[in-house]
Chains A and B, each alone.
Chain A
Amino acid sequence: MEFLLAIITGLLYAAGLYMMLRRSLVKLIIGLIIISNGANLLIFLLGRITKGHPPIIPGDSKIFTEIYADPVPQALILTAIVISFGLQSFAIILIKRAYQVVKTDDLDEMNTIEEDYK
């Protein structure tokens, strides 16, 4: 399972970076979304994956008696997902607006030199 997740994480980072290096604005945002998913998976992976042992102490004992899954990475991922959700929705509105104002989605053409006085 770890091996598979490691491969997937690597693929997500690579795909995300590749998309970010394209010239289209939409692909840029898609790249950012993919790469942030990769980061979330990485936290999950590096928090050690433990199957079938929820971090719940059995009623008859005072402490953990066996290995348990670390709940912290999941809390971190949840926070990161919520934050990136907010950022992504802002990003999508921004590119829509940018498309309306600049009338292109080519990043190379977003370099209007500002002459504020004629």
Chain B
Amino acid sequence: MQQLLLYPLLFQLFLSIFLMFFWKKIDAQKIISIVGGFIAVFLSGVLFYTVWNSGIQTVQAASWEAPYGITFVADTLSATLVLLTSIAGLAVSFFSSASVIPARLRFGYFPIYHFLLLGLTGAFLTGDIFNLYVWFEIIIISSFVLITLGGEKAQIEGAVKYFTLNILASIIFLTAIAVLYGLAGSLNMADLATIIPQLENRKLVEVAAILFLVGFGIKSAVFPLYFWLPASYHTPPSAVAAIFGGLLTKVGVYALIRVFTLIFLEDVFLDQILIVIAVLTLFSGAIGSLVQKNVRKIFSYLIICHIGFMIAGLGMGTEIAFAGMVFYLIHDIMVKTNLFMVSGLIYRIKGTNNVRFLGDLYDKFPKLSLLMFIPLLSLIGVPPFSGFWPKVSLITASLNEKNYIILGAIIFGSLLTLIIITRLWANVFWKKGKELTKRDHFLYFQKMTKAKKIQFLVPIIMLAGVSLYIGFGAEHMQQLSNRIASELIDNTQYIEAVIPQNN
């Protein structure tokens, strides 16, 4: 059972290869993808359970001892994120099978989608910095295909921007690895964690750290580097936007957390930079969102805004701040995935995502509106919904640190989120809508068969349920985040698990 932590990874690989045998049979692909999604949730659930009960799990690939081989590590943070990935993956599998048009599905949508999940799982599990680079490349190659699949004009335009900045981010990441390898002569993250603090050449270490910050910063869309995100996330089908919005920026945040809690520690300069970035990210995301007219663009800017909360937690660097950051990460993955699915549902009902043409939803679909209300409330963080609890930790941490700028920014970000969502609610759900001309060749939600409607709603209900659990079962989540935070603060456990003969 020692290889347990590789199962979620290998299963996604198996699934995507298996799906290729059914290239033209999209109905079979839908069923395989959904059933596979359930198995993936089960496997990562088992992994999470094992890590929770018996501590950090490691696998040395091909039994090459660390630091010479590639190590896979599942600490509590990784196991949690793998579990969340497979839950979000299952929901989006469901949603894709209902919402993505067959013309797109025929070009290998599902195999590529599972490759994306493979890349995400790998990125969360690897303990080797160059291996992390390779997983990032798998993620971006699959995401390029998913974002261009269909080839509409807007999609191609969005893809050019998405593509350029993501490749640039990878090159910067590679440069950072080069500098780090030149300095330390190792690629294993646990090994680096022991070597880097002893190095004499602090200036070059700082250069490497900044290169990592910029590379991962582009991926996670923080303040001056986020422009690709709102330019591209509204263009692909909403199922694709859901998995991108939920997980792709978060994998950047995860990499930042890993690198800045394990390798580059106790650097006041870096902490200051992180805090400044966090504040500006919160401001620019929130203000950018205010002026948008497209539901999906509003959500895209909100992604940026809420990345700020996590970076703020990382910048403050205390245990409470880390707990808040991890809790927010867990909450955010579920909510953002769900929000983009909600935007897809709105699009299917009305045929548009433009706020100006929307309206009447509450009048015509009261039950559906209430369903969509759950992720929106969770996003704002109205207690007892899930967004509220991590903010308690973050605000406590900033009060403890006497860091009032970050406190102000967190409150400002939350307040603007509240304003944006209430305005969205008023415009989309309450406002008297215009009569829109019916589109030809467009499958409206109202005209779908019952089975298809259920297929559409199941993932939204599922993730809303998870969000509700995170909100109402906050005690469990707080326990989990506290444990992850203590592991992040004290990195000796991680190092000890990877290189046992260390002491």
A interface with B by C-beta (< 8 Å)? 20, 25, 28, 32, 35-36, 39-40, 42-43, 45-48, 70, 72-73, 76, 79-80, 83, 86-87, 90-91, 94-95, 97-98, 101-102, 107, 110-112, 114-117
Residues of chain A lying within 8 A (CB to CB) of residue B159 = 94, 98
Of the four ranges (under 10, 10 to 19, 20 to 34, 35 or more), the interface on chain B belongs to: 35 or more
| Chain B residues whose CB sits within 8 angstroms of the CB of A90 once the complex forms | 141, 144-145
| Most interface-central of B145, B168, B354 (chain A CB within 10 A) | B168
Checking B157, B178, B234 against A102 with a beta-carbon cut-off of 8 angstroms, the contacting residue is: B157
- B287-302 residues with Cβ-Cβ distance < 8 A to A are 294
Considering only CB atoms, which chain A residue lies closest to B297 in the complex?
A114
Contact A117 B352 (CB under 8 A): yes
Q: Decide yes or no whether B137 CB sits under 8 A from chain A.
A: yes
Kindly list chain B residues whose C-beta atoms are within 8 Å of the C-beta of A43. 174, 177-178, 181
Q: Taking the complex as formed, is B353 at the interface, i.e. its CB lies under 8 A from any CB of chain A?
A: yes
Which residue of chain B is the closest to A17 with respect to CB atoms?
B168
| CB-based nearest B residue for A28 | B164
Closest B-chain residue to A70, C-beta based?
B185
Alpha-carbon gap, A73 to B130, bound state (A): 11
Interface 1/0 per residue, B344-364 and A, CB below 8 Å: 000000011110010000000
- A76–B331 CA distance with the chains assembled, in angstroms: 36
Cβ 8 A contact of B182, one of A46, A86, A110, A115: A46
A20 and B357 contacting across the interface, CB-CB below 8 Å? no
Binds A, one of B75-83, B148-156, B272-280, B333-341: B148-156
Known A32-B164, A72-B187, A117-B352; judge A83-B156 contact (CB<8 A).
Answer: no
> Could you tell me the distance in whole angstroms from the C-beta of A98 to the nearest C-beta in chain B?
5
Given contacts A39-B171, A46-B181, contact A114 B154 (CB under 8 A): yes
Instruction: Tell me the bound Cα distance from A45 to B179 in angstroms.
Output: 10
Q: From A35, A72, A80, A111, name the one whose CB has the most chain B CB atoms within 10 angstroms.
A: A80
Residues of B near A97 (CB, < 8 A) are 148, 151, 156
User: Are the CB atoms of A76 and B354 closer together than 8 Å?
Assistant: no
B167 and A91 contact, CB distance less than 8 A: yes
What's the minimum C-beta distance from B179 to chain A, rounded to whole angstroms? 6
Contacts of B145 in A (CB 8 A): 90
Please determine whether A87 and B174 come into contact, CB atoms closer than 8 angstroms.
Answer: no
- Per-residue 0/1 for B161-177: is the Cβ within 8 Å of any A Cβ (1 yes, 0 no)? 10110011011001101
14 cross-chain CB contacts under 8 A = A20-B164, A39-B178, A43-B178, A72-B187, A86-B141, A87-B137, A90-B141, A94-B160, A97-B156, A110-B160, A112-B153, A116-B352, A116-B354, A117-B357
* Inter-chain contacts of B152 with A (CB < 8 A): 101
Q: Name the distance in Å between B300's Cβ and chain A's nearest Cβ.
A: 13
Cα-based distance from A83 to B141 in the complex (angstroms): 9
Interchain residue pairs A-B with the least CB separation, the first 10: A46-B182, A43-B178, A117-B352, A42-B178, A110-B157, A39-B174, A83-B137, A98-B156, A114-B154, A46-B178
| A32, A45, A83, A117: the one within 8 Å of B168 (CB) | A32
In the complex, which residues of chain B have a beta carbon less than 8 angstroms from the beta carbon of A87?
137, 140-141, 167, 170
| Given known A-B contacts A46-B178, A72-B181, A76-B181, A115 and B171 have beta carbons under 8 A apart | no
CA distance A46 to B176 in the complex (A): 11
Q: Which of A36, A48, A91, A101 contacts B153 (CB 8 A)?
A: A101
A94 and B175: CB pair below 8 A?
Answer: no
Q: Which residues of A contact B177 (CB under 8 A)?
A: 43, 76
